[in-house]
Amino acid sequence: MPPTSGDRATEVASHLQRTRPGTKPKVIRPKKTATPRPPPATRGPSKGSSPFKTVPVKPTVSHHGVSPRVLTMFGVGMLGIGMYCGYLYSSYRQAVIQSKTMEVPDDVSDRYNTTATYYDDEVDLGERFMQLGAKRKELVRMARGDVLEVSCGTGRNMGYYQLGEKRGLDAQGHSEIQGCRSVTFVDLSPQMVEVAKRKFQQQYPGFERAAFWTEDARKYLPSKKQLSSQSQSARSQSSERAEWSYSRPYFDTVLETMGLCSTPDPVGLLRHLGSITEPEKGRILLLEHGRSRYDWVNNILDNLAPAHAHRHGCWWNRDIGQIVEQSGLEVVEIKRYHLGTTWRVILRPKPGPRSGLEQAAPEKQPQGGEEKSRSFLGFSV
């Protein structure tokens, strides 16, 4: 490498110092120069390579996309749902064909004689899913005074009673009697009554003003005279009943839950219940299931009604609104849930002259048919 001008100047200065007498030679060090950094490497073509050859660049992975695994799982899930829906539709079509070929009588209440032992297990899951327990509790807590529960079944309302009469305030702050002074349970199935009685004795062992009767609710009369003249068959079914029996001519509250679907004459039943309800402040409390607000739901109920009634003893496509209207009772409140298939109805006897316990011959209620107007008697249903 040839010497630079800086190097030559350094050599001359050093030579002059050595030749000057009486001076100490001074060593002059050359200044350090900064070594230039090489330019950064580029992605261009290397030496000797073709300028038209591109260097592969590593692709950037996006974190916002859907992984193939998720897409696969989604596809498998949709396929499973589609297959299950197809299975349900096929089963439904077969059930409709079978249901339409069945001949089922209007009175299917005898089914409960065989299902009483496992009835609670059979309906418990469905009622939990629909939260019917809360609706039962809300309705039963309205009962006061002397209470009659018809179509009591296995006593699914048993745990909601407030036994023991006391005075309290209503929602408006007015004084009223709260709680139940007595309870009377009536059902046509002796097996159902026996299950309900065992439940009551376990939950309320010290309460004595309770009675259990196996009888058609359309014929039940509360007076002591009528009780004493009941048929021998009814007495044999209630041989273990409590000594106490109800003796007033009217009940303060009449309660029925899921019972209009199983009686062959629901209109006549309501008329009779109105005749034994206290005429001034008495109430009839109903929690029923029947026709929906929507035609497509009613089509399903109608198509499967015979098969459902044959198996469960229940006509689930009855028009509760029409039954209430034909009964002639005064409507206090109507509420509907679950697409309109669950009805909560509060009734009372219409004021006016009463002809005792005799009622006109009721008009037979059809099992299905077109839904009536969604409002009647001033109530939206």
Tell me: the pLDDT tens digits for 306-353? 998 988 889 999 999 999 999 999 999 999 999 999 999 999 998 866
- Radius of gyration of the chain measured on its C-alpha atoms: 44
The residue that leads in pLDDT, 62 or 249, is: 249
In this structure, of 154-163, 171-180, 341-350, the range with the lowest mean pLDDT score is 171-180
Segment 36-62 mean pLDDT: 59
Per-residue tokens: 76: 């498998």
Per-residue tokens: 96: 């409709």
Are 291 and 301 within 8 A, CB to CB? yes
120 has pLDDT over 50: yes
Identify each DSSP E strand in 44-143 by its residue range: none
d(CA 45, CA 220): 105
205 has pLDDT over 70: yes
Confidence of residue 39 (pLDDT cuts 50, 70, 90): low
Confidence of residue 64 (pLDDT cuts 50, 70, 90): low
**pLDDT at residue 272, rounded to an integer:** 96
Identify each DSSP E strand in 170-252 by its residue range: 175-187, 210-214
**pLDDT at residue 373, rounded to an integer:** 40
Average confidence score pLDDT of the chain: 80
The residue that leads in pLDDT, 77 or 50, is: 77
Span 254-295, pLDDT tens digits: 999 999 999 999 999 999 999 999 999 999 999 999 999 999
Confidence of residue 54 (pLDDT cuts 50, 70, 90): low
